[in-house]
Chains A and B, each alone.
Chain A
Amino acid sequence: MIVAEKKPFDEISGMLAGFDKVLTVGCKTCVAVCLAGGEKEAVLLNKELMLARKVAGKPIETGAALVERQCDMEFLAELDDIVGQYDAIVSMACGAGVQFMAERYPEKPVFPGVNTTFIGVNRDVGWYEEKCRSCGNCLLGVTGGICPITMCAKSLMNGPCGGTNQTSCEINKDQPCAWYAIYKRLAGQNRLDNILKITEIMDWRNNVPRTIVQPGYEQRKAAFSEK
């Protein structure tokens, strides 16, 4: 899932300085699971905003809404009837959701309520770890299901650097060395041959904004674009 963390309150409050009626929209998917941008967090943010502005003598009116997925226009459309009542929107979704919201309501200032942090896993409640940089050229089949681009601090592709600290990364004793883990897993599976060959220089595919049209959907896209 996409993992995010709440922006510092002062930053959000600063962005909203000139606005008196604000709609805060939570997202029910990834950011709700990681406890950063769901309904609970949207309501809480509104309470904080109202209190801070009241104390400052500049009261603010807030509304809260929740959308199934802000990365989907169909769900954003549910907000069409209420958006007009507000001066600005805070989207608690990931960066994709914020941008889609801003695209849906181009006249309305839209502000991010969270910092989108990574694609990761739910290790336990409240505890998330980055696992994927969406490089677009997955090496996991070679590296025993451990991503060297993400999990190695230097994104090395041909084995551990000389800074390996026992079994940890040189940046931090608590961060396991990705290549140590890759080596151990492949050794256990008798697949070390995988990493004895040189992994060739990477064809990075995340240098431009990417669009994917799945096979069979080209005509649908063409028809949509014409509209």
Chain B
Amino acid sequence: MAEFKSNSNLEKVLKAGHFAFTGELGPPRGSSVAHVREKAKPLKGNVDLVNITDNQTAMVRMSSWAASIIAKEEGLEPNYQMVCRDRNRLAMQGDILGAYAMGINNILCLSGDHMQFGDHPGAKGVFDVDSTQLIKMVKTMRDEGTFQGGADIEEPPKMFIGGAANPFAEPFEWRVHRLAKKIAAGVDFIQTQCIFNMEKFRNWVAMANDMGLTDKVYILAGVTPMKSVGMAKYMKNRVPGMDVPDEIIKRLQGVDKKMVSDEGIKIACEQIEEFKEMKGIAGVHLMAIEWEHKVPEIAERAKMLPRPVF
């Protein structure tokens, strides 16, 4: 029997050898519990884990841990996202203890979008620790039972630790080394940036395989279905670190206007089919941005259902 590091549903899915399927839920710009519950409904039973974003794009939203608790009440397995932009190591560790105390078993350690992108551009960026150091801090809390400062923790938080990887950004040849550093820091699973450039992604995975990295970490390939040609162009030109090849835009432009979003889902499903067979890939992370209600259809069409239950 596999030894578990946490009580995470995702960990159970992965260790049982299933191809994982995770989703995402963006908390509201307000304190509406109903809003979170509404967004949670289409995800329930269709994904193994749901990322609850943390002030994404540097816009203030309901805190990730609070929305995670609501999501848990709705029967989802939350992945508490934490960015280095907004908290120092004291606040981070305190929030991790609190989140674990409230039944949250997964955390995703991220740098965070720069303050300049959001609606509080004059905010002080904290960046006391970076994402790699945060991974190591959470692992030390879990496995050594100590705080970053060295003191013992009474009831250490047993988090399943996630990180991100962008296989496309420059310098490309460095990206796999950055992954190696996160593994050395103690990351358990990786969710990648949205993948559109499949060729580049295949190269990156091949490099990770060659270095033996995919034996040490579960990599979930990031998939975002395009809703429209405008969205594809926006992601290509405006979203930092995104690599959208022209073929994707041409393919969306080539179908009847009413069928563009359907074509977007079709592309996503084709990608998922390839990832299922790809050596070194343990699952898919679906980022259906503000499109949560489409997740059941995408899960069905990508033949990801039913999800394993433990």
Contact = CB atoms under 8 A, between A and B. Distances in A.
A154 B240 contact: no
B169 interface: yes
Interface in B116-171: 116-117, 125, 127-133, 136-137, 148, 164-166, 169-171
Nearest to B174: A183
Contact of A158 (B114, B133, B137): B133
Interface string A135-167: 000000000000000000111111111111111
A184 B125 CA distance: 26
Given A159-B177, A162-B166, A154 B114 contact: yes
Contact of B128 (A153, A161, A170, A204): A204
A184 B171 CA distance: 8
Contact of A156 (B117, B130, B165): B130
A51 to B, nearest CB: 33
A198 B125 CA distance: 22
A93 B164 CA distance: 45
B305 interface: no
Nearest to B166: A162
A153 B193 contact: no
A98 B275 CA distance: 62
Interface residues of A, number: 30
B39 interface: no
Contact of A154 (B130, B165, B185, B241): B130
Given A159-B178, A160-B169, A198-B184, A170 B114 contact: yes
B184 A163 contact: no
Contacts of B181: 158-159, 196, 198
Contact of A201 (B137, B177, B178, B241): B137
A158 B169 contact: no
A167 B169 CA distance: 9
A187 to B, nearest CB: 8
B240 A164 contact: yes
B216 to A, nearest CB: 15
A180 interface: yes
A96 interface: no
Interface in B65-102: 84-85, 89
Contacts of B132: 157-159, 198
B253 interface: no
Contact of B177 (A161, A164, A177, A196): A196
Interface in B217-249: 240-241
B162 to A, nearest CB: 14
Interface of B: 84-85, 89, 111-114, 116-117, 125, 127-133, 136-137, 148, 164-166, 169-171, 174, 177-178, 180-181, 184-185, 193, 240-241
Give 4 closest A-B pairs by Cβ, nearest first.
A162-B166, A170-B240, A163-B240, A158-B132
